[in-house]
Amino acid sequence: MGVMFQVVIPIFAIIVCGFLAGRFSLLPSNGTTTLNFFVYYFALPALLFYSLSTASTEQLTNTNFILANLLIILCCFIVTILIFTIVFKKKFPDVSLYGMITSYGNTGFLGIPLLTAAFGQEAAIPAAITTFIYDVVVISFVIISFEISKATKSKQTDQRQLVPMLGSIGKAILLNPINLSLIIGITVVLLEISIPQSVYVFAEVLGPAAGPTALFSLGLGLASERSVWKNKEIELKESITLIVLKLIMLPILAFVIIHYIFPIEDDLWTTSLVILSALPTGALVYVFAEKYQTLQKQVPLLVLTTTVISIFTISIFLVFLSS
């Protein structure tokens, strides 16, 4: 029970504060957007850059950790596609978006802030590596699926479609501040680039603001999105299947893989991977739902539902892993 009072309750108390601020109109309804932009473009990139640029080469090239992440993603993505193709009769490429719903977690606005708040800045290193791997693999899967479908329907040749498809993948993966900060941090370590101390001081001061701000913003957002619950566009069986796969089966799969297939001795890294797997569906999924005109009305409901339920499921996993 110690971990419940020391870690779980303080973290989710910040979320509750944000929710109460929104519920009683202590902050404007558009405050969530402002706070999220601050986290996304400033605080979180600073945190990730500082954490990675001060890490060791051995940490950034942890083979078992990287392979465990890849296996978790592949297993979850493939299982989801099979279930929704065979059981729910969904078609390609839509099934790839279902795969993204169950395998792509809210690492930026919940996972990394939660882990750093619970275990300190050292937890940002495995969290950052996991974030980058998930971005590269999951986003690539989704873009390739929809671009192949578009090329097939328009009967364009592979050569003509290849360049636009690679461009879309590259932009989605690399041209965002979070992944860009990860790449810069990794480059600094691998190439042993000397960075002025003032840059580190700037990042060290700004970075810690990402955690509490993101958690508070999450609660504020939950208070302002109550209308999403009225959405009736998704079948209950589909919704329950997606929630169980994302919040229960994926972290259990991560626990098995990280302990028995690609074991890692560092408890912080194993705990981080399981908790990151237990995160709710990331808001970025909605960006792709809009881009490809698929599940636009269902995704916001799933993001909100998994976020609320994850408050309890993540607490359970934290207590279990810390016992």
Q: Quick: pLDDT tens for 33-55.
A: 888 888 888 988 888 888 888 88
Q: Which tens digits make up the pLDDT trace of 224-246?
A: 666 555 655 567 888 899 999 99
What are the φ and ψ backbone dihedral angles of 2, each rounded to 5 degrees? -60, -45
Q: Which tens digits make up the pLDDT trace of 192-224?
A: 888 899 998 999 899 888 878 877 887 787 776
pLDDT at position 152 over 70: no
CA–CA distance, 48 with 274 (Å, rounded to integer): 19
Q: Which of 24-38, 255-269, 292-306 is the most confident on average?
A: 255-269
Beta pairing partners, 281: 105
pLDDT at position 120 over 60: yes
pLDDT at position 250 over 60: yes
> Does the CA dihedral 207-211-216-221 come out positive or negative?
positive
Q: What is the dihedral of CA 81, 83, 85, 87, to 10 degrees?
A: -170
pLDDT class of 3 with cuts at 50, 70, 90? low
Say if CB 128 and CB 94 are below 8 A apart: no
What whole-number percentage of the chain has pLDDT above 70? Answer: 86
Say if CB 8 and CB 318 are below 8 A apart: yes
pLDDT at position 277 over 80: yes
Query: Which pTM value belongs to this model?
Result: 0.79
Question: Which are the contacts of 26, defined by CB distance < 8 A and separation ≥ 6?
Answer: 20
Q: Which pLDDT does position 157 carry in this prediction?
A: 46
Q: Which pLDDT does position 52 carry in this prediction?
A: 82
pLDDT at position 14 over 80: yes
Q: Write down the mean pLDDT value for the chain.
A: 83
What are the φ and ψ backbone dihedral angles of 105, each rounded to 5 degrees? -95, 170
CA–CA distance, 162 with 83 (Å, rounded to integer): 29
Class of the CATH-defined domain 2-322: mainly alpha
- In this prediction, residues 47-64 reach a mean pLDDT of 85
Higher pLDDT, 12 or 112: 112
pLDDT at position 155 over 60: no
Say if CB 142 and CB 97 are below 8 A apart: yes
> What one-character DSSP code corresponds to residue 104?
-
Higher pLDDT, 288 or 245: 245
Q: Which pLDDT does position 227 carry in this prediction?
A: 59
Q: Which pLDDT does position 278 carry in this prediction?
A: 93
Q: Which pLDDT does position 231 carry in this prediction?
A: 58
Q: Which of 11-15, 67-71, 142-146, 154-158 is the most confident on average?
A: 67-71
Q: By C-alpha distance, which of 129, 135, 132 is closest to 51?
A: 129
Give the CA radius of gyration of the chain: 19
Q: Which pLDDT does position 286 carry in this prediction?
A: 76
Where along the chain do its domains lie?
A: 2-322
CA–CA distance, 129 with 4 (Å, rounded to integer): 27
